[in-house]
Structure 1
Amino acid sequence: MENLKVLVVDDSDLIYMIVEEFLVSKNYTCIRAKDGLEAVYLAYHNAPDIILMDVEMPGVRGYQASRLLKSRKGVRDIPIIMHTTLDEDKDRFWAMSCGADDFLSKDLDHLEEIDFKMQALSWKKADKNFIKEESSKVSRESIIEMLALVLDRNLLQSTILNEISSLVREENLRQAASEIFRIATYVSGHDIACLILKKDKTSKAFIYPGTSVFEKESEEFYKASLADFKKLFSDLLWKNHSCEYIFPFERTNFKDIALHERSFASYLSIPLNGAGGLTGSLHVASFANGYFSSTITENLNVFASGAGLVLSNALLFEKEKEQNSKIRNVFSKFVPADVIEDLISRDSTSAMLTGEKRNVAILFTDIRSFTTISENNDAGNVVGFLNRYFSMAGEIIKKNGGIIDKFIGDAILAVFGAVQSYEDNATRAVRTAIEIKSRLKEISTDGLVLPEQSFSTGVGVHEGQVIVGNIGSGEKFDYTVIGDTVNLASRLEGLTKHYHQSVIVSATVYEKTKNDFIYRELDRVRVKGKEEVTIIYGLRPDGMNNELYNDYEKALSMYRIGNWNTAMDYFQRVLHLYPDPICEMYLERCRNYCLHPPQNFDGTTTLDFK
């Protein structure tokens, strides 16, 4: 068998070690990249015969790297196999749409599948001489420019914001700055960067020198950056300001003198806006003349719009920690330290730190067709729209006694009864869902391109037992809820689109709130991941009067016992007077069952999607 050179792209040391050992045993030669940026670089400079590409990696992801390689002459002929733990149809679709030649789910117990697929693609040959000629033009910095050109502008900017959004709840300011620097480097590929933040009446700075930048050059860059920062904050007291270095890699030669005297030829300063207004500024520089093109500058401005929020949040977290420390110090003057610690750890706070079981109502909501909205609009407009929606929904959740557990992209997970429990947790959750629905029209969508069905949301509500507490590692944890109740609420929200409903509640919520709201039964389902039957309910439409509702219930009864023809008669009676997507759905089912009677029909529907 021909000895093929394989570029394995994976950020996991363990997975690479296992895959490499297997491939070497099959007479392959392996080289490795840890992210998509490095993969593109090595594809040019090592010209592999085939690429085994992971999807989820830091920085440039597998889909982006694949799309870039497949857009470039020479390297486009290198076969790419997407190798990922993601195995849903949508993941296969995205792999194929970005130009990958095949898709393979990570299954370390069946590594032979890798060999099989590589042999099937081994006939594809790239012009390695041409790739070698092109490699002299390709550097890690130029790859960022290539990426900006090949990806749709909005998609690239959405990717940048998606990277930043994962940092919103980072509490450690230095760690937040370090991650911001990491992403900024991928965005522009500069030689040095500096973050200067307003902290009370002074400033806090972080400098991120590249591997080729030395201390003297860094100091000169910081002086220039600080001068621009002072223009933004003329009212600050210019004393007690601090500066820290953050290095991307361990440096032992940072204090050395550069062999040749040089200076930065390109420089850019960008203000950072946080939740409370102007937070600080980002400064970047390059030794290359005219380095910051319009594309890089635009992407850095988009990046800065998200980075400011992350850093302002981290500043607030740091300030809160400092205030808590001051409070402890004040009380320690009057109360022994061990008594303070005992008081802090008692009662409900103790339960919060260790975790406890509680009965709560879970509300899960997200925006319909948000992917379409993101793809068709400028990233800044999308972020502004999300913030307006989250503010409105958060206000309603808080008013009804709930708390926002987390934001998940465009989704909100809210809990009623976690911190303070009420007898009517379920009622409060459903009332919140209805109020959010009624106030969607207040959200400004000016400047947004919306789907044909306009802007709407889906809400799922369930009540049950969860585990509440601080969950995570010793270094990072969140006060959150986990358990099957949360999962079912999420599933119910996912069903709102399938059943054309704005709100779907579980049988538990229905029983506790049926005297407060007018419902109708929608279906009896087995949701994905659960064997037991779940009865789901929706709010009865305003246009469905009691007479039509009685016909609807009779139709459901006939449907449950398998009397399809009679059920169709009643559903058609409803539809004759009121257009109802649920009746349309059942009518179609009945017609299908008349032609193809199901075996062992028990009136339930098994769903294979989330």
Structure 2
Amino acid sequence: EAVIKQGNNLLINNDAPLEHPLDRKLFIRPGLQTCFLAPLKMGGAVTGLLFLGNSRPASFVGIEEPMDQIVSLLPLAVEKNRLSLSVTKRDQEMGSLKQIGSMLAASTFDREEVLKHTMDMIRTIMNVEAGSLLLLEKEELAFKTSFNINPEINVDALKSFRVKLGEGVSGYSATSGEPVLVRDTGASRHFRNDFDRQTGFQTRSVLCVPLISRGKVLGVIEILNKINDDFNDDDLHLLQSIATSVSIALENSRLYQETLSMAENERGIRKMFQKFVPREIVDKIIHNTESDKPLIEELKILTLLNIDLRGFSTISQKIGPQRTVAMLNHFFACMGDIVFKHGGIVDKYLGDGFLAIFGAPISCATDADNAIAAALEMQAKLPAINDHFSGELEAPLAMGISIHTGEAVVGNIGFDKKMDYTVIGDSVNVVFRIQDLAKSRPNGILISEKSRIAAMNSILDVKEIGMYDAGSTLGELRIYELVGSRLRGRNDG
């Protein structure tokens, strides 16, 4: 004590009085006759003590000068050794982190695989008796994977337990978002021994760090009882580094699963929508690359097209239900493809016809032109359809087409168990009323004046039919029979 306090060398011979019990223990019991003590200094502070003893008396007389040189070099050697061990340990930790990073990178995006690899590596690197990884689920921490070096401890039993936020070391770490190091669980206000009672394990020390991604706590990693040592700050920093890598891996796994879900959802949308909507429109609905505005408006200007087979009841009675279905499917396939080709969608089937929409969910300046072009192509397609059924039907198929442009409500109509994307409004009623007028003109196409005016990019060949009462809200509409159409050129007025 005198050497450390005074910072000077001390030579003791056997004739010196030794009153302190520690002095007698160090000198008399081993049979030492003389001792030499020198302070080891680093940066002016005493960091240790050199003790030499000999059973022969006066054996250290005259060694003070050479010992001064030794004593001055010895602390440097000790410090160099300490730094060397520190660098070696740091290299081992960096190697461990690199190994964990490579392991997690190679574990695909399977969350369970990520968790398993993590705890396998922690068990090896951290040299602990037990550990668990818990993830946050509905404001509670759930045990996802655990290990224990004692084979008699059933770690699978932990999976049924939940830890409330704020409870225990892990709950406190998850709530605060801070690491917790408990060297003595008996003196910790956070530690709870509930799980020790359940498993029979005895927890002496705990190191727990949170898993954090984008500022949000995902869970915690908790390790127990460092083997042959106490947890220190180096252990804490290493486990934090591991937790950072795991958090990134978990976030990548979540994003990957989310991407898979979105891709599956998109496939489902495409599979469903492409039965009624052209591929190009489906792409615009899904990706919405042109603007931030919603693609499905509530109220829109639409051009509606209704196609209807004539004498359907008579035909179906003569050819029977099975052949009727085959005939309708072929007719709808041919006519529906034409609608898609011109940028429309098939809104609903009506037994012997269907209603098509041009202008929803994607609208453009040529919706009316596209509907008129589709109607003329349908008209031209009918002879080929009749040729297909040659010999099967007693008389060729006949049809009527009506077209009207106006405001309508379009969107998802229905309830959670049955939802249809459809259109409602006075404009729908008008297109069906025009269809009634078309019954007297086999294979004819009737359009309203609003559709004729809206078809600004086409020069229409039409015959005026007359004025028609469209109802109290719309008043009278002028109706035309469409004979032909061509695109308006630069020289056309």
User: Shorter-chain-normalised TM-score: which range?
Assistant: 0.3 to 0.5
More strand per residue: 2
TM-score (norm 1): 0.31
Structure with bigger gyration radius: 2
